[in-house]
Amino acid sequence: MGRTLPTTTQSWHEEQEAFSRFRRALRRSDQLALDELFVSARQHLAAAAYAANVLPMETFLLAMLLEEHKMILRLCNKIEALNGRLEDQNSQPETHYLPRQDD
């Protein structure tokens, strides 16, 4: 008979449970941040199942990193859009690698 492997969702729950003592040792604000990371990993369980990785935590960490990177890209796009509006108002082209003249 073959072995029955846990589903990706079961593995996710097991990994989250394995970090429960670590979570309890954190400050409340850090606990909430950790919870959000696990939620972001949960959003990618279908992809994690497709990957069929031997070490599921690596896949979950990559999913967390992916969500964090997407957030950084969204924030960078917002900053660039705001800078573009400011440049239009000041009508001075600005380079990102040089300080502004009035600084």
pTM here is 0.69
Mention every residue, 6+ apart, whose C-beta is less than 8 A from residue 7: 49
Residue-averaged pLDDT of the chain? 85
Q: Tokens representing 41?
A: 């990993």
Q: What is the pLDDT of residues 54-87, one digit of tens each?
A: 788 999 999 999 999 999 999 999 999 888 877 7
Of the two residues 89 and 17, the one the predictor is more confident about is 17
In the chain, domain spans: 8-90
pLDDT reported for residue 33: 95
State CA 55 to chain mean position distance.
19
pLDDT reported for residue 95: 54
